[in-house]
Chain A
Amino acid sequence: MAEEYGEFRALRYDRETESLNLSFWPGSVPLQQRWRNNGLSADFLGDYVTTFFPLEDDNPAARARQNEIRGAVAFIANELLENAMKFHDGRLPEPITVHLNLQPERILLQQSNGVSAEAAEDFRAFVQRLRDNDPGELYIQQLEESALSEGSAGVGYLTMINDYQAELAWRFDALPDPGFRVTTQVMIRI
């Protein structure tokens, strides 16, 4: 049984769509070493999409747009990878996956990982809080709270929503082993 929050857009594989898949099992190398790959992978995805937003002579707007799209993809991909590493439960038979789907009018970044039933419960409550509150207010509130505590939960998602006008959706699929596969989809319009 799957629960969904927010609107999932269909991934496309037609002639107008470019896509890339990454998938890995984080237990195979230590987290510290693996963390480095978040940046490499995120920068790669950001650079990869720039091919489809070429520079034009005498058009500074094209350069700004390329720069903006590269920055947005690299930031979002990095956050999704960091979250996957932090919350993935290596005991579950689930890899971490990241998928980039570049469609004519939008970019979808979709990431999935396995989490324990307990972690899924906490994350569901967080998703609910995100959906029930004004993201601008919640962002400032989280930043003020993170000044007082050791946590900065949700600043990444809130930055995507507030600063990159991203739309987010989540799916929780129950696994036969106790636990869930959590899928996060981030959509930005281009």
Chain B
Amino acid sequence: MNALAGEGYEVEFRPDEDCVRMSGALRLGGLAEYAPISAMLEEALQGRERLVLDLTGLEFLNSSGIATLSRFVISARNHAQCGLVIRGSNEIAWQGKSLNNLKRLMPSLELRFD
């Protein structure tokens, strides 16, 4: 398992479960600070047929984080061999508002709200 963690957040890549889980509150200062997370997400896409991005524990994401997720979704769209599932939570207000935009970037994205 690979993991990145900082104050208030954690990102874990579980290759055996084809899953990346992001949790806590992510408000890093700009795309450059998100680069290690982007690299982990990119790595997770390689050589997989399906990847689940589990955001059910991600309480807060700033706009640089939203841009990072969008870049990743665009990259997944361009790697047509890997299907992408994003799991969100109805309990977390930003997700109901902002995750649907990702479907506009990648129509084949499977968005699931628990």
Contact = CB atoms under 8 A, between A and B. Distances in A.
Interface in B13-31: 25, 27, 29-31
A43 B60 CA distance: 10
B84 to A, nearest CB: 15
Contacts of B71: 143, 146-147
Binding site secondary structure of chain B: helix
Interface string A138-166: 01100110110011100110010011100
A4 interface: no
The number of chain A residues touching the other chain, given as a range, is 20 to 34
Contact of B63 (A35, A68, A150, A155): A155
Nearest to B92: A71
Given A155-B63, A163-B98, A67 B93 contact: yes
| Interface band, chain B | 20 to 34
Secondary structure at chain A's binding surface: helix, strand, loop or mixed? helix
A147 B42 CA distance: 13
A45 to B, nearest CB: 13
B67 A143 contact: yes
B114 interface: no
Contact of A146 (B67, B91, B97): B67
Interface string B17-60: 00000000101011110000000000000000000000000001
13 contacts: A39-B25, A39-B27, A75-B94, A79-B63, A86-B30, A140-B101, A143-B67, A143-B105, A144-B74, A146-B67, A147-B70, A147-B74, A163-B97
